[in-house]
Each structure stands twice: as structure tokens, then as C-alpha cells.
């Protein structure tokens, strides 16, 4: 297997050719220390994630880990096994990168977060602190507070009186939400950068209102001693807004300024047939719209989340990105920001929703899982086996989801590291794997069978089927403990202890990113 040193990889990052840097560690491990342009590709989900983020198998790839060596080598071997032809491993992993004098970053979605901080510095995005916003509310000022996060985050905690309008919807919907130019618009998120990006989207689009970001978001609000709402669901009006012509004119001007191109279906087919370049096809509409009908082969990537978490969808520097929506507003706004963030070649697909559409979620093929035929138990069968003491559950939910809903007596685990559970598995009891995704459950069966302890089966329909059957789930915020949640990078409010300190640390981390990026030198924000 080919090995390269840190200076070679540094040169690759800056040579203008396509490159994917994939880190084989779990997200929680990745989040502690990684390369700026590295993309998390945990071994436990590699069969699903690698195919999703590498549309072209011939792309140049470098696999990285935290110095273990084995993890990167295993990921590289897997990639070569599915047909990737240009794969290397960074010798010595992240420690070698640091020893060579290069910068390492903590956190998740670092390029997007750093870009948000750069946007504030570059565009001088105005903001208000929580005390100022509270005074505006108490004075009865003509204003709206718009939360730029997805609804699941909004429900968890929100500013009193706020409306959920995810960032990609803001320019599209603002004419209905704030039709009077005298209305002040305040955009917030949990921390900083999605507030900044939402506010600056409106400003860059030429919205006449006064627009400000809420400094430090819901975290800052609570740190200032104010209370957030919980469980709210106020949201933007659905459907095509009557103010569409104005929104489209604004979005077109923004996209043209940054070199976003238009393409038709024939042009898309030509891009996808070009084996020399990578092409991503992403639908930036609201998730409800995507699920109701989308272009076959397109992935759901709501615009605001795509800009603020680009590495969730796009792993290849220098790739082509084709964006799909219904009216062109959301695709053009998203495209303009992506051009400034990573310099990708960005196209808006005209007429992208004409013709036959698919419904439901996007699903990644997983031939490795499809080739397995493990024994399965229906929820009622598993419940009876548990009652009789004849079964034991290994649950492969995300650690945070396991805390909120674990099957009776279940052990939490991470696939590819299930040997860690050997001492807690009872000989003689059937092991039943429960997971959120059928492919993950199937792939875990050979690993557990390899422990030689007991027969292994899967729960048909996974945790969702168990819950739908009305069977019991238990909640325990300390199972697993924070330190054991290697599969996720814990946000401050996911932690059990030191939440306030973690909030302050997170906000300081975001603010400092712009300086760390300058020291690293591999970002070219605003240079297209």
C-alpha cells in the first residue's frame, strides 16, 4: 500500500487537482484533532459513507488516522476493494502532520465554521448581543427573530418568539415573513456561524431591512442568564412564496457575482459521464419537499446546512457540484456561498424537477450488507426471548440516541470495535443486533459471530420497529458516559457535566478559527 509523508500531502492540497482526505477514525476521535480539509469516514460506516462521498472511484485519496496506522490502512484497503484506483496513506497520521509543522484542528465541519467566521470579518456582518435583543423585545420593536437551524435543533432550544427558518430558506421566504422594510431581522443559531451566514445571506442578497446576527446564539442567550424555550415548532409558511420574482432576482445577482453557472439536463448527463472529474448532485430544498419528490440520484442537502456542514456531503476538493431546487433561488444562494468557501465548480440545474421523480429518502447501495442473510427476529419474538432470558441485545444506535432510547438490557457498541463487548456478552444467550439502519446491523453480524460466544441475529426493522410496536425503551443520559461517546463529537448541551464551561469553550473556538485558518494557509476563502 502506498504511503506518503506530510509535505507530500501538503503539496497535494495546494496543487489544484482533485483530492479527498478521509479520516478513518470515529467522529468523536476525529473531532479532537484532524487536518483542516480532512473528511470523517469512520470505519464503522465506511461501506455506506465512502460510496456517498466518492462519486468517482478514480479520484486521488489520502487516508489518515490519529497515528494508529492500522485504521487508515484498513480504510485504504477497503477503498481499493471497491474500485478506488489512486489511494495513499499518510505515514504517521495526524502526529506526523503536526511534527512537520502543520496545523491540526478540533471540532466538526471546520472548513464551514471557519468560513462563517471569515464572512463576519470580511463582510462586517452586524450583530447584537443577548442583552440588546432582550431590550428590543421589551421595547416592542418591530422585529422578527429567525432561527437558521433545522427543526430538530430548534425544538431542543430556541429564543422566545423565534420562528424556525433554516438558512437556505431565508432569502427565498423573507418576503412573506418580513414584508415591511422597517422590520428588523435578527438571525440566530446555537452558536455563531449559522447566525452570521443567515444574516449575511439576507444582506448580500440586498434585502432592504436592517439585518443582524444574534451574537453567540442560544448558547449566548443562556449564558447571559435568559431562558430558552423548549419544544417549540413555529416555522416558515410552506409553498412557493408570492414574493418569488424578487427573491429570484436577488439570488441571480448574488450567484452571477461569484461565478455560479447554469446547466440543463443534457449538460448534467455530460458532466456525470466525464470520468476525469467528480460530480455531486445535491437537492438544496427543504427536507419535506425532497421527500415528496426529487430527481433520481440526487441527495438531500438543505442549502443552509450544506454551506455550514459541507463535509457531510462533499469530500473532494476541486470537484463539480450541481445544485437542484424548484425555482432557482435556494440553489443560487447556496452556490454563491460554496464558490466562496471552497472554490468548487458550481452549477444550478435548470428544470431539475421536470419529468419522473423519486419519493422518500435517498438510500445508498451497500452490496456488502446485501450479500449477508442473517437470521432475523421480529420485535415480538425478541421481546419474548428477552423475557425468557434467552437473548441479549447489542444496540448500534448513535450514542446520543442510545441514551434516549435503549432496548431492555442492551449493550451499546460501535461496529468494527465490538470485541470491546466480549466480556459483557453472556455465553449461551442469542445475540441480537438492533440498529437504526438495516445495513449496519447486517454488517455487524460477522464481527460478533467472530467472537465465538453465541449465535447472532438481527432485529427486523431495527429500533424503529421496536418502538412502533409499543415495546419499552429506557433513557439514561449517562449510558454511555461522555468519555465513551467516541462515535460523536459532543456539543456543549450533549454533555452531562461542565455544560456552561463547554459553551464558553465552543464559542471561543469558533471565534479563534479565523486565526488558526490563517496560520494553516490551506483555505482560500473568497478566491474563485
Residues contacting residue 155 through CB under 8 Å, at least 6 positions apart:
230, 231, 232, 233
> What sign has the CA pseudo-torsion 113, 119, 122, 124?
negative
Residue 229: band (very low, low, confident or very high) from pLDDT cuts 50, 70, 90: very high
Q: What is the Cα–Cα distance from 409 to 304, expressed in whole angstroms? A: 39
Residue 330: band (very low, low, confident or very high) from pLDDT cuts 50, 70, 90: very high
Of residues 488, 301, 460, 461, the one with CA closest to residue 404:
488
Percent of the chain with pLDDT over 70: 100
Residue 454: band (very low, low, confident or very high) from pLDDT cuts 50, 70, 90: confident
Residue 23: the pLDDT is: 98
Q: What are the E-state strand segments in 223-337?
A: 261-263, 279-283, 299-300, 316-317, 320-324
Residues contacting residue 498 through CB under 8 Å, at least 6 positions apart:
none
Residue 33: the pLDDT is: 97
Of residues 314, 290, 288, the one with CA closest to residue 300:
290
Residue 1: band (very low, low, confident or very high) from pLDDT cuts 50, 70, 90: confident
Which residue bears the cell 450567484? 255
Residue 505: the pLDDT is: 93
* Over residues 55-76, mean pLDDT: 97
The kind and range of the H/E element at 520 are helix 499-520
**What's the pLDDT tens digit per position in 101-135?**
999 999 999 999 999 999 999 999 999 999 999 99
Of residues 492, 489, 516, the one with CA closest to residue 506:
492
* Over residues 246-256, mean pLDDT: 98
Q: What is the Cα–Cα distance from 176 to 193, expressed in whole angstroms? A: 24
Kindly list the structural domains of the chain, giving each domain's residue range(s) and its CATH number in brackets, ordered by start: 3-108 (3.40.250.10), 114-244 (3.40.250.10), 249-349 (3.40.250.10), 367-484 (3.40.250.10)
Q: What is the Cα–Cα distance from 100 to 93, expressed in whole angstroms? A: 11
Residue 447: the pLDDT is: 95
C-alpha distances (whole Å) from 432 to each of 231, 400, 444, 458, 463 are 34, 20, 10, 5, 12
Using the 8-state DSSP alphabet, how is residue 158 labeled?
B
For the cut 90, the answer to whether the pLDDT of residue 15 exceeds it is yes
Residue 420: band (very low, low, confident or very high) from pLDDT cuts 50, 70, 90: very high
C-alpha distances (whole Å) from 151 to each of 145, 160, 223 are 15, 15, 22
For the cut 90, the answer to whether the pLDDT of residue 400 exceeds it is yes
* Over residues 387-398, mean pLDDT: 96
The distance in angstroms from the start CA to the end CA of the chain is 35
Please answer whether residues 173 and 241 qualify as being in contact, where contact means their C-beta atoms are separated by less than 8 angstroms.
yes
Residue 528: the pLDDT is: 83
Of residues 40, 35, 60, the one with CA closest to residue 50:
40
**What's the pLDDT tens digit per position in 265-305?**
999 999 999 999 999 999 999 999 999 999 999 999 999 99
Q: What is the Cα–Cα distance from 465 to 475, expressed in whole angstroms? A: 18
* Over residues 160-185, mean pLDDT: 97
Of residues 168, 400, 424, 377, the one with CA closest to residue 290:
168
Q: What is the Cα–Cα distance from 356 to 334, expressed in whole angstroms? A: 25
C-alpha angle 504/509/514, rounded to 5°?
A: 140
How many alpha carbons lie under 13 Å from residue 349 in its C-beta half-sphere? 29
Which residue bears the cell 418502538? 467
Q: Please give the model's pTM, rounded to 2 decimal places.
A: 0.95
Q: What is the Cα–Cα distance from 201 to 204, expressed in whole angstroms? A: 5
Q: What is the Cα–Cα distance from 502 to 388, expressed in whole angstroms? A: 44
Residue 428: band (very low, low, confident or very high) from pLDDT cuts 50, 70, 90: confident
Residues contacting residue 48 through CB under 8 Å, at least 6 positions apart:
364, 366, 437, 439, 440
**What's the pLDDT tens digit per position in 359-374?**
999 988 999 999 999 9
Amino acid at each position: 500500500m502506498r504511503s506518503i509523508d506530510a509535505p507530500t500531502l501538503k503539496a497535494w492540497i495546494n496543487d489544484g487537482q482533485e483530492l479527498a482526505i478521509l479520516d478513518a477514525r470515529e467522529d468523536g476521535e476525529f473531532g479532537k484533532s484532524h487536518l483542516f480539509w480532512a473528511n470523517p469516514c469512520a470505519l464503522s460506516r465506511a461501506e455506506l459513507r465512502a460510496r456517498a462521498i466518492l462519486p468517482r472511484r478514480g479520484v486521488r485519496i489520502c487516508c489518515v488516522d490519529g497515528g494508529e496506522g492500522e485504521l487508515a490502512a484498513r480504510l485504504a484497503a477497503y477503498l481499493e476493494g471497491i474500485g478506488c484506483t489512486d489511494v495513499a496513506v499518510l505515514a504517521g497520521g495526524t502526529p506526523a502532520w503536526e511534527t512537520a509543522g502543520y496545523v491540526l484542528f478540533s471540532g466538526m465541519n471546520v472548513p464551514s465554521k471557519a468560513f462563517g467566521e471569515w464572512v463576519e470579518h470580511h463582510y462586517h456582518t452586524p450583530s447584537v448581543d443577548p442583552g440588546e435583543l432582550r431590550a428590543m423585545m421589551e421595547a416592542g420593536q418591530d422585529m422578527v427573530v429567525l432561527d437558521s437551524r433545522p427543526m430538530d435543533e430548534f425544538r431542543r432550544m430556541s429564543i422566545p418568539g423565534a420562528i424556525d427558518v433554516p438558512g437556505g430558506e431565508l432569502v427565498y421566504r423573507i418576503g412573506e415573513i418580513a414584508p415591511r422594510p422597517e422590520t428588523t431581522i435578527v438571525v440566530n443559531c446555537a452558536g455563531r456561524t449559522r447566525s452570521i451566514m443567515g444574516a449575511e445571506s439576507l444582506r448580500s442578497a440586498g434585502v432592504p431591512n436592517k439585518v443582524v446576527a444574534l451574537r453567540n446564539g442560544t448558547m449566548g442567550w443562556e449564558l447571559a442568564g435568559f431562558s430558552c424555550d423548549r419544544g417549540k415548532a413555529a416555522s416558515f409558511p410552506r409553498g412557493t412564496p408570492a414574493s418569488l420574482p424578487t427573491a429570484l432576482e436577488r439570488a441571480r445577482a448574488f450567484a452571477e457575482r461569484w461565478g455560479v453557472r447554469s446547466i440543463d439536463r443534457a449538460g448534467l448527463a455530460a458532466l456525470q459521464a466525464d470520468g476525469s472529474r467528480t460530480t455531486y448532485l445535491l437537492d438544496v430544498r427543504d427536507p419535506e419537499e425532497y421527500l415528496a419528490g426529487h430527481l433520481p440520484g440526487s441527495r438531500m442537502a438543505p442549502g443552509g446546512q450544506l454551506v455550514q456542514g459541507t463535509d457531510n456531503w462533499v469530500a473532494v476538493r476541486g470537484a463539480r457540484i450541481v445544485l437542484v431546487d424548484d425555482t432557482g433561488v435556494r440553489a443560487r444562494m447556496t452556490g454563491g456561498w460554496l464558490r466562496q468557501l471552497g472554490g468548487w465548480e458550481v452549477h444550478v440545474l435548470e428544470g431539475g424537477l421536470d419529468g419522473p421523480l423519486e419519493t422518500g429518502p435517498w438510500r445508498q447501495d451497500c452490496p456488502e450488507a446485501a450479500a449477508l442473510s442473517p437470521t432475523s427476529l421480529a420485535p415480538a419474538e425478541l421481546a419474548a426471548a428477552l423475557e425468557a432470558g434467552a437473548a441479549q441485545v447489542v444496540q448500534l444506535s448513535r450514542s446520543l440516541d442510545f441514551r434516549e432510547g435503549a432496548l431492555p438490557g442492551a449493550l451499546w457498541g460501535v461496529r468494527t470495535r465490538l470485541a470491546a463487548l466480549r466480556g459483557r456478552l453472556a455465553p449461551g444467550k442469542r445475540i441480537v443486533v438492533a440498529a437504526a439502519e438495516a445495513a449496519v446491523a447486517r454488517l455487524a453480524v460477522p464481527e460478533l459471530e467472530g467472537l465465538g460466544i453465541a449465535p447472532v441475529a438481527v432485529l427486523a426493522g431495527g429500533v424503529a420497529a421496536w418502538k412502533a410496536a409499543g415495546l419499552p425503551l429506557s433513557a439514561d443520559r449517562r449510558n454511555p458516559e461522555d468519555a465513551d461517546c467516541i462515535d460523536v463529537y459532543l456539543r456543549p448541551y450533549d454533555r452531562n457535566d461542565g455544560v456552561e464551561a463547554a459553551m464558553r469553550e465552543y464559542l471561543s473556538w469558533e471565534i479563534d478559527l479565523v486565526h488558526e485558518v490563517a496560520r494553516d494557509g490551506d483555505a482560500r476563502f473568497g478566491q474563485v
